[in-house]
Structure 1
Amino acid sequence: MWGAPSAGTPVLDSFLSGIADLVKSRDGAKLQDFLQIEPPLSQIYQDMTVELRRTFPHASNDEQIQTKCESLVPSTGSGSSWAAFAIFMRSYLTFLRDVNVENLLETYNLLKGLLNNCVIALSDSQMGVIVLPTVLYLSKVLAKLAIGLDRQPELITHLLREGNDTEGEATERVTLVEKSANVVREAFIKCLTDRTGTPGNQGKPEGKRVGIYLMANLCLKLLFKCGKLRNAEQMFASINAQSPPLDHFPASQRVTYLYYLGRYLFSNNLFYPAQIALQSAYDQCHRQAQNQRRLILTYLIPCNIILGRFPSAALLQRPESQGLGDIFLPLCRIIASGDLFAFRSYLAVDSERGDWFARKGILLQLRNRCEILVWRSMARKVFILAGFHGDQKMQAQRGPPPFLYLHKLEAAVRWLETRAPKLLMSPEGQQESSLLSFPPDKDFARDVGGTEPQIESDFDDFLKPDGYFDEEGHWTDVTGPETLPAAASTEGEVDDSLDPFASLRNPDDPRGGEEAPLMEEVESILSSLLTQDLMRGYLTHKNPRFAIPGARVKGPLPTGFPNVWQTIYAKESEDDHVPGWVRIRQAPPGRGPGGRQQPRPASAMGGRVVNLSNVKAVGTPG
């Protein structure tokens, strides 16, 4: 199978002869089949390993192995034309000779060095493409080993500890998975920067460029595994600039890449482009690949929920959606109900589903982005039950627009507080509003318990400072009134113009009193909803109200509370560009295949007819 054997190392010589024939025929797929490393190896590889250990037992014999490997590629007047391949083959043979599968960390290091040499061989502009399948194979084996060790760190803890003892404490320890991703990224760069075929991001993949997304997908898998998503940013930027369109690659590569791209965009709060990428991955994924389709739905469903679209019953009845309805439907019902505290309870870290959401990396996005939708649902329900919807008898006359007194929404919030006492208990056991989450800082909190200093007024940092800078710029601690400089002493009450809360303390102001901070938060949240166009209308500050003008045509609910998805889609769909996704560039309207301007059809002109019967010729006096 491998060629004619010779004396001394017949199996090895036969193997190298077969490798030389494959290099000559440029058969990269067959070469990858020859270069096996995963146990259990067939008997012929075991025989070759025995020969290597008998004839070249030590690292001092590596030069002899190098000499044997130099004959594998065509030679020129200056020697081997592909010296990097000979070095890689020497690494492969020494790997078979030296590997000890019982020492997993040593096996990992040997395999990483072997892959490094293979990537260097890949960089050759003429012959490198031959080892592309081998690079992918070795990368997959290295990734599998690194992820396996990451899942069972107890297998190499003592070895890692010995290695860390020799390193400085200030250096951050890089995990094996991250080290593997760095090596695979180098292979990805070699594929991306290959100059074979049409340059730029609109040519078809040729040469090493056919491996762009194979290497990118494997690298992204490792980066997601070790949580180094920021390292993927440069990959996507490079793909945008240099990669051929994704449509030219096989469906399996497209689906995998769009899945990781969607997850990356989701983690960076770019939910609309993430939804486009994940939806395309789901649509292109084979129907029988249920595990892959389920994995995509795990992120596509929460992405749509954040954008205001809930999963349909038909979607949740598909085989790949089994069990997802039990997780996401309760969340959708809570958002629609407007129950803020049920929402926070369902997405709490220690809740029944919180751990699942956290492991999938979607907990924080759901908590941060969906709470505003819960507030919108609450305001909508309060408006339905207690708002002024307008006088139907005054349709033809001018009357007040529909409105909602905000103190009714405030009352609804306080009613919800009474329904969830456990959520409102402070560490000291006192019941308090979880909406008023003032931090325990003297610059913000009015009354801080525990070991923090008691704040007597909102101006303690002015009336009773901890210290001051003297004329020479040196800090001086204040131990009592006698240590204050004369210019810093204050007498009497502070001018109300310096008090930002003075209007709230006005007894004639209906907003004053202890409930004012909650009203402030309600106004702030509604202002945010109005800014995002998730509610439409305006707020009045004195005698706080939310008013819905222009509601006579559609009614107050469709006008004041527009559909969330349609609102977001109308804004985001103006630019459907997805960062990191290279598509086939469409010809601009009005230009033919050769770029020449083409006559526009009548329909493109909007059906307009221009009458030129009375137009005078150029130069004719008026």
Structure 2
Amino acid sequence: MAFPNTPVLDTFISSLSEIVRDRDGAKLQDFLQIEPPLPDVYTQMVDELRRKYPNESPKEAELLRRCEGLVPKSKGGSTWTAFPTFMKLYFCFLRDANVENLLETYDMLKVLLNQCVMALGDSQFGIVVLPTVLYLSKVLAKLAMGLDRRPELIAHLLRLEGGPDQDESTEKVTLVEKSANVVREAFIKCLTDRSGTPGVHGKPEGKRVGIYLMANLCLKLLFQCGKLRNAEQMFASITAQSPPLKHFPASQRVTYLYYLGRYLFSNNLFFPAQIALQSAYDQCHHQAINQKRLILTYLISCNIIMGRFPSLQLLQKPEAEGLADKFIPLCQLIARGDYIAFRDHLTVNSPATEWFARKGILLPLRNRCEILVWRSLARKVFIHGGFHGDPQGQAQRGPPPFLYLTKLEAAVRWLQSQHPSSHPLPTTTPFASSIPPHTNKSQYGSQIVSIAPDPDFVSLDAPVTNGSGPDPSLLSKYADYLCPDGFFDATGQWQTNPTKTLIDGTPDSDYSQYELNPYAETADQEPDKPSPLMREIESILASLLTQGLMRGYLTHRNPRFAIPGARLRGALPTGFPNVWQTIYARESEDMGVPGWVQPPPTMMGGTPAALGGGGRVVNLSGARPVGVQ
């Protein structure tokens, strides 16, 4: 039935009917445009829709009936009821969309995409709208991320969500996350399509050709909103149901491996992340400089954490422009062994911190690379101050190479003395007499990690008192010490004390043994008892030994690190093996990457390898008895 008042709409619907009948999904997507600026024919069609089918009028039911004619009829009637509803929403979107109100446009577009995903679920015709689902998903993602970057446009929405009835314990869902949820539904429709052979033995057929297109877009949105935990189920579903990744186009493979590598990196699975990122970098087109630089950022970070520094040849490539200034100073600090300078380089106030934090690699580098810094420090101290064995008595039995840990302790205290403002040094040990004095004399907590004192534990360093005020005889005897007429404050300024108050609080009531120095501390530490710093150093070395980054054993009575079996290879290669080779030898036993579907292994001749022997039937009817020729 023709409608003379809507010639453009009639022609448009007639063309769509032919497209659906031919199942031309690419042409359908080309027709269903929504991004401005639209061609003039769409403007004319919008005018006809506003005249003939105004918003919230009874005529909208007539528009739906016209859209129902787009679906091919069958004997039992059409089952693709979701598509006419989608087309009706599409026409309403063209008619009512207001680009000046981006939030309202977002809500309308999300409803439109939801309906298109429902149409995608049809087993016969759903494949026709797959390109359209991808197109609408990209537009929705672009709009959601744009609104996320401009919070002033959705400030009123946030105020409404933060009303008096809002439960503060529930996590707020952002527009980007809502978009990711819609795209994930489309991904599930593609993944669960039953056309062709399922699993790792199949190839992309039907709607499954869109598995990684939808997965990559969903992962992009999840990374944008920082909800990576929601991607775990996606990777598990892909592993269980997706065809091998090698059957998909290179652009989809590279994008997916990049996001998979970043996901594994964020979950501290650095070895499989390195495999995925390395494959993405190798398969990326040589002209895609920006994409290769993005991949290199995380690939270099993975390798540094595993003790593999980037070469100058790599950092001189076009895609590595600017990365040398970020990573070379970090590698130099790791090799130097100055753990305080390493922390200062990646601290909050460091100029390099902003770039590392923006890329999401600051905390992994800061937390995972410090153990390599300690290994470098221990190695340097062993080179310069350790016992490397007797070169003249190789054939004779003698002590193995070793390092006195007191030398490593002295090196740590010397490093602390070079950074007095960042890391105050306790001064109650004999070695402290040779370095500048510091104000912090705490023997509680870590001697390596500098943390502001907790106010609840300040009293640990305060003088011990019996809860009562000082004895009057004590004040009369030590008044010039305890409550003088004036004193120098922490800034060196003279402060008067006219009220004769106690300068340092209530002192210990028993000063009989301190005639000359009432502030002297009791030397209650046993001579042979290791210092708190020595305990921490032993713990760090024990961690290095457990991880295989150092080889040998520790002795505690006379603290040493010994390297047995060093006669053949030497002390350094034996006690301090190559970090990357050590990790690779341990992790390469299983080269599988979670979330990366590989083809099944093949045997000689190209036949697939059997996954197991159970359930196979062997026909023995023609078998001869044993020994019969």
- Asked if TM exceeds 0.5, the reply is yes
The match for 1:454 is 459
- Residues 200 and 600, structure 2, Cα contact 8 Å, conserved in 1: no
SS in 1 for 2:369: helix
The match for 1:493 is none
The match for 1:585 is 600
Shift of 1:450: 4.3
Shift of 1:199: 1.3
CA displacement 1:542-595 (0-9 Å, x = unmatched): 1100000111111100000000000000000000010000011112x4676276
Give the Cα–Cα distance (whole angstroms) in 1 for the partners of residues 571 and 191 of structure 2: 55
CA displacement 1:61-95 (0-9 Å, x = unmatched): 32121111000011235543311100100110010
Distance 1:193 1:384, change over 3 A: same
Supply the AA of the counterpart residue of 2:313.
Answer: A
- Residues 73 and 82, structure 1, Cα contact 8 Å, conserved in 2: yes
Give the Cα–Cα distance (whole angstroms) in 1 for the partners of residues 447 and 456 of structure 2: 23
The match for 2:428 is none
SS in 2 for 1:288: coil
Give the Cα–Cα distance (whole angstroms) in 2 for the partners of residues 381 and 530 of structure 1: 17
Asked if residue 509 in structure 1 is aligned to residue 514 in structure 2, the reply is no
Distance 1:311 1:453, change over 3 A: closer
Of 95, 102, 105, the residue aligned with 2:103 is 105
SS in 2 for 1:539: strand
Supply the AA of the counterpart residue of 2:592.
Answer: H
- Residues 424 and 431, structure 1, Cα contact 8 Å, conserved in 2: no
Give the Cα–Cα distance (whole angstroms) in 2 for the partners of residues 193 and 358 of structure 1: 37
The match for 1:385 is 384
Asked if residue 571 in structure 1 is aligned to residue 586 in structure 2, the reply is yes
Superposition pairs of residues 317-466 of structure 1, within 5 angstroms: 317-425=316-424, 430-431=439-440, 435-437=447-449, 450=455, 452=457, 454-455=459-460
The match for 1:488 is none
Distance 1:584 1:330, change over 3 A: same
CA displacement 1:185-228 (0-9 Å, x = unmatched): 00000000000110122200100000000000000000000000
Give the Cα–Cα distance (whole angstroms) in 2 for the partners of residues 455 and 510 of structure 1: 21
Asked if residue 16 in structure 1 is aligned to residue 10 in structure 2, the reply is no
Supply the AA of the counterpart residue of 2:559.
Answer: P
CA displacement 1:285-335 (0-9 Å, x = unmatched): 001000000000010001000011000011000001011001000000110
- Residues 552 and 575, structure 2, Cα contact 8 Å, conserved in 1: yes
Shift of 1:507: 2.3
Give the Cα–Cα distance (whole angstroms) in 2 for the partners of residues 162 and 43 of structure 1: 38
The match for 1:222 is 221
Shift of 1:157: 1.3
SS in 2 for 1:194: coil
The match for 1:42 is 39
Asked if residue 95 in structure 1 is aligned to residue 93 in structure 2, the reply is yes
Shift of 1:269: 0.2
Superposition pairs of residues 78-93 of structure 1, within 5 angstroms: 78-93=76-91
Supply the AA of the counterpart residue of 1:383.
Answer: F
Shift of 1:509: 1.6
Distance 1:234 1:505, change over 3 A: farther
Asked if residue 139 in structure 1 is aligned to residue 137 in structure 2, the reply is yes
Shift of 1:160: 3.7
Asked if residue 521 in structure 1 is aligned to residue 536 in structure 2, the reply is yes
Give the Cα–Cα distance (whole angstroms) in 1 for the partners of residues 263 and 128 of structure 2: 32
Shift of 1:454: 2.2
Give the Cα–Cα distance (whole angstroms) in 2 for the partners of residues 73 and 403 of structure 1: 83
SS in 2 for 1:421: coil
Give the Cα–Cα distance (whole angstroms) in 1 for the partners of residues 81 and 610 of structure 2: 50
Give the Cα–Cα distance (whole angstroms) in 1 for the partners of residues 461 and 33 of structure 2: 76
Supply the AA of the counterpart residue of 1:110.
Answer: M
Structure 2 gap segments, 5+ residues each = 426-437, 468-522, 612-625
Shift of 1:173: 2.1
CA displacement 1:25-45 (0-9 Å, x = unmatched): 000000000000000111100
The match for 1:118 is 116
CA displacement 1:375-396 (0-9 Å, x = unmatched): 0000000000000011101101
Supply the AA of the counterpart residue of 2:222.
Answer: L
- Residues 510 and 543, structure 1, Cα contact 8 Å, conserved in 2: no
Supply the AA of the counterpart residue of 1:13.
Answer: D
Give the Cα–Cα distance (whole angstroms) in 1 for the partners of residues 164 and 125 of structure 2: 40
- Residues 388 and 401, structure 2, Cα contact 8 Å, conserved in 1: yes
Give the Cα–Cα distance (whole angstroms) in 1 for the partners of residues 220 and 369 of structure 2: 28
The match for 1:491 is none
- Residues 54 and 60, structure 2, Cα contact 8 Å, conserved in 1: no
Of 147, 150, 165, the residue aligned with 1:149 is 147
The match for 1:479 is none
The match for 1:316 is 315
The match for 2:576 is 561
- Residues 75 and 81, structure 1, Cα contact 8 Å, conserved in 2: no
Give the Cα–Cα distance (whole angstroms) in 2 for the partners of residues 166 and 91 of structure 1: 35
Shift of 1:265: 0.2
The match for 1:543 is 558
Percent identical among aligned pairs is 67
Give the Cα–Cα distance (whole angstroms) in 2 for the partners of residues 86 and 18 of structure 1: 15
Supply the AA of the counterpart residue of 2:390.
Answer: D
- Residues 600 and 608, structure 2, Cα contact 8 Å, conserved in 1: no
Distance 1:82 1:449, change over 3 A: closer
Distance 1:160 1:594, change over 3 A: closer
- Residues 424 and 432, structure 1, Cα contact 8 Å, conserved in 2: no
Give the Cα–Cα distance (whole angstroms) in 1 for the partners of residues 578 and 196 of structure 2: 48
CA displacement 1:161-201 (0-9 Å, x = unmatched): 24554962444321100000000000000000000110122
Supply the AA of the counterpart residue of 2:206.
Answer: G
Give the Cα–Cα distance (whole angstroms) in 1 for the partners of residues 164 and 95 of structure 2: 27
- Residues 601 and 609, structure 2, Cα contact 8 Å, conserved in 1: no
| TM-score (norm: length of structure 2) | 0.82
Distance 1:536 1:394, change over 3 A: same
CA RMSD of aligned residues (A): 2.6
Shift of 1:506: 6.1
- Residues 105 and 159, structure 1, Cα contact 8 Å, conserved in 2: no
The match for 2:519 is none
Shift of 1:23: 0.2
- Residues 113 and 133, structure 2, Cα contact 8 Å, conserved in 1: yes
Superposition pairs of residues 267-286 of structure 1, within 5 angstroms: 267-286=266-285
CA displacement 1:113-161 (0-9 Å, x = unmatched): 0000000000001100000000000000000000011111112212442
Distance 1:439 1:298, change over 3 A: closer
Give the Cα–Cα distance (whole angstroms) in 2 for the partners of residues 186 and 146 of structure 1: 17
Shift of 1:8: 1.9
- Residues 70 and 80, structure 1, Cα contact 8 Å, conserved in 2: no
| Range 101-110 or range 79-88, more displaced | 79-88
Shift of 1:423: 0.9
Give the Cα–Cα distance (whole angstroms) in 1 for the partners of residues 263 and 63 of structure 2: 45
| Range 275-284 or range 80-89, more displaced | 80-89
Asked if residue 183 in structure 1 is aligned to residue 203 in structure 2, the reply is no
The match for 2:64 is 66
Give the Cα–Cα distance (whole angstroms) in 1 for the partners of residues 53 and 454 of structure 2: 75
- Residues 20 and 73, structure 1, Cα contact 8 Å, conserved in 2: yes
Distance 1:435 1:251, change over 3 A: farther
The match for 1:499 is none
